[in-house]
């Protein structure tokens, strides 16, 4: 299967003042991401509050995003759900639309505690779109599925024909590298932590990744990869350290899903508020976050409309 090169964005789901999905925002959103060097989107995932969307909303979002797909801008649809029947239908729908690929994280309930349980979950979902690459989204902090990923690769190998690889959002660069080395790089290992892109390039040989802070800091994150390719290690370090400065700010404001989504408003694309049970920023918190971002020079380096 084709392996992804460059950074794919995990977009936020825009909501209007009534809390309904604002589909009209997708066109300018896609244009902004393309302008700032992103190679596609992984929609309806954690950044997109996918588990707080109805299946109909998820389908409609996929339909809107696919309108802006092309050979240089891939649309991957997260179809994970607590109901595997829903996941399989979402996978079928994504294939029908012409999405490039699909993916799913382990469900938050019931908690998956064994590799075989996870493989069965993947197998049933992937069968809904057997012609599309399937990526497992490894983010155990969200679902408690702290399972060995090399063992997962061993278990799906030869069993799930359209298994393409893993979006790896976990702290172990060692395990990431071991997965990348499995059978001489058979599977696509997409790095999923924006704060450690440079180490993943240096040790893990990463070629592609999926990020959340790429929504507003994509220029800096793609610059890490560009510098690395040119052999400019000091430049890559500077961009990575700046990216960590930005992440340090959002961590003080409920992280990327809440604080990061409000940053989109500050750069000119208002994504609206997060759905319950997320606790949205107050106006005072937004102003304080803006001051912290100004202090590190963020608005001179962030994504441009």
Q: Which H, E and C letters describe the chain, residue by residue?
A: CCCCCEEEECCCCCECCCCCECHHHHHHHHHHHHHCCCCEEEECCCCCCHHHCCHHHHHHHHHHHHCCCECCEEEEEECCCCCHHHHHHHHHHHHHHCCCEEEEECCCCCCCCCHHHHHHHHHHHHCCCCCCCEEEEECHHHHCCCCCHHHHHHHHCCCCCCEEEEEECCCCHHHHHHHHHHHHCCCEEEECCHHHHHHHHHCCCCCEEEECCHHHHHHHHHHHHHHHHHCCHHHHHHHHHHHHHHHHHHHCCCHHHHHHHHHHHHCCCCCCCCCCCCCCCCHHHHHHHHHHHHHCCHHHCCCCC
Average pLDDT, the chain: 97
pLDDT of residue 225: 97
What's the mean pLDDT in 234-262? 98
pLDDT of residue 203: 86
19-47 pLDDT, tens digit each: 999 999 999 999 999 999 999 999 999 99
CATH code for the domain defined by 6-232: 3.20.20.70
pLDDT at 229 over 80: yes
pLDDT at 1 over 90: no
pLDDT of residue 60: 98
In this prediction the pTM is: 0.97
pLDDT at 204 over 80: no
Catalytic residue annotation = 137, 167
133-159 pLDDT, tens digit each: 999 999 999 999 999 999 999 999 999
């Amino acid at each position: 299967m084709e392996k992804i090169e460059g950074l794919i964005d995990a977009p936020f789901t825009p909501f209007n003042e009534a809390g309904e999905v604002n589909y009209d925002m997708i066109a300018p959103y896609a244009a902004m991401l393309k302008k700032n060097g992103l190679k596609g989107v992984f929609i309806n995932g954690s950044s997109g509050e996918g588990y707080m969307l109805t299946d109909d909303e998820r389908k409609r979002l996929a339909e809107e995003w696919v309108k802006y797909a092309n050979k240089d801008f891939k649309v991957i649809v997260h179809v994970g759900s607590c109901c595997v029947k829903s996941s399989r239908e979402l996978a079928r729908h994504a294939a029908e639309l012409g999405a490039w690929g699909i993916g799913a994280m382990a469900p938050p309930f019931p908690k998956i505690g064994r590799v075989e349980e996870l493989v069965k979950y993947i197998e049933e979902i992937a069968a809904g779109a057997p012609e599309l690459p399937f990526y497992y989204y490894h983010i155990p902090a969200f679902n408690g599925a702290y399972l060995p990923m090399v063992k997962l690769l061993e278990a799906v190998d030869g069993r799930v024909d359209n298994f393409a690889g893993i979006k790896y959002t976990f702290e172990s660069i060692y395990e990431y590298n071991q997965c990348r080395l499995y059978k001489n790089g058979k599977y696509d290992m997409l790095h999923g932590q924006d704060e450690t892109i440079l180490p993943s390039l240096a040790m893990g040989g990463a070629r592609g990744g999926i990020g959340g802070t790429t929504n507003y800091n994509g220029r800096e994150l793609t610059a890490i990869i560009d510098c690395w390719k040119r052999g400019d290690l000091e430049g890559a370090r500077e961009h990575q350290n700046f990216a960590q400065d930005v992440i340090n700010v959002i961590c003080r404001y409920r992280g990327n899903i809440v604080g990061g989504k409000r940053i989109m408003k500050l750069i000119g694309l208002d994504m609206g508020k997060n759905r319950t049970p997320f606790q949205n920023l107050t106006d005072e918190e937004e102003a304080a976050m803006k001051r912290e971002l100004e202090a590190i020079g963020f608005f001179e380096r962030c994504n441009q409309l």
